Amino acid sequence: MEDATGSTHGCQNTSTPEEDMGLDDDFGPSELGTKKYWDDAYQRELEVFKDIGDVGEIWFGEESMGRMLQWMDKAKIPENAAILDIGTGNGAFLVELAKHGYTNLMGIDYSAASVELARGVLQAEDLTDVTVKEVDFLNCSEELKGFDVCIDKGTFDAISLNPDNTSEVKARYVQALRSALKEEGFFAITSCNWTKEQLLHRFSEGFEFVQELPTPCFQFGGKTGNTVTALIFKRLH
Ligand SMILES: C[S@@+](CC[C@H](N)C(=O)[O-])C[C@H]1O[C@@H](n2cnc3c(N)ncnc32)[C@H](O)[C@@H]1O
């Protein structure tokens, strides 16, 4: 995973499409796949926010939010669309969405410290109409329903690093996503651990691929690759 400063935190997608022979290979377990890691990380960020008002890390940088907002404009997502930010972290994306004019926003995260931080960040911007809830997306059953757009920036990456049964965890994510989205609703994912081909494979059943959003390319040793993949899917019946 890559942060705003370009440093990596568990980002493991450096392969080219030709190398993606294993479309669903699991990564080794990592602390980034544990709740304890995120509780500790957001507790630290919360303390810094309370001290000096710094909102903390924006995963994949500001441009990752701009790219999605641009797509939402082009796709004419209405301002009252129900939008869910899965694993909202510090809520920075919710702030951008609200400032862009979206009025029906919810962020969820399984870390209580993240939820407190996101609420504080929104309040500091006077954005009191945005709902932030402490919810484990993998265990939310019927709680989340009827969303027009579900956004994931780095959360499926983190979930994929879960040290427990990764295959089952990934399958539960897909199930929870299908249940949260309306038919024809959009899923917008930004990932640094999975390539386009791997994401197409993972979200092949019950979803239709809509488009890939352009992300920065790098060249190394004569090969070209992307550090981040951003894809849009649509939920089928
Ligand atoms: C890489 S961070 C990304 C945070 C935020 N989306 C962003 O772009 O800044 C991954 C987030 O996913 C959250 N997360 C991981 N597993 C989760 C789960 N099962 N349910 C809800 N949130 C989860 C973590 O607490 C963390 O906030």
Q: What integer pLDDT is reported at residue 1 of this predicted model?
A: 52
- Supply the angle between the helices 62-74 and 92-99 in degrees, to the nearest 10: 40
Tell me how far the alpha carbon of residue 114 lies from the centroid of ligand 1, in angstroms.
9
Distance from residue 208's CA to the centre of ligand 1 (Å) = 24
Q: For residue 76, is it left (φ>0), alpha (ψ between -120 and 50) or beta?
A: left
For 66-112, the pLDDT digits (tens) are 999 999 999 999 999 999 999 999 999 999 999 999 999 999 999 99
What residues are paired with 2 via a beta bridge?
8
Q: Is 137 in the pocket of ligand 1 (CB under 6 A)?
A: yes
Binding site membership of 54 for ligand 1 (Cβ less than 6 Å): no
Q: What's the farthest any 2 CA atoms get from each other in the chain?
A: 50
CATH of domain 30-235: 3.40.50.150
Span 161-188, mean pLDDT? 92
Stretch 147-167: mean pLDDT: 92
pLDDT at position 6: 40
Q: pTM of the prediction? A: 0.91
Between 175 and 30, where is the model more confident?
175
Domain positions in the chain are 30-235
| Residue 186 backbone dihedrals phi, psi, to 5 degrees | -100, 145
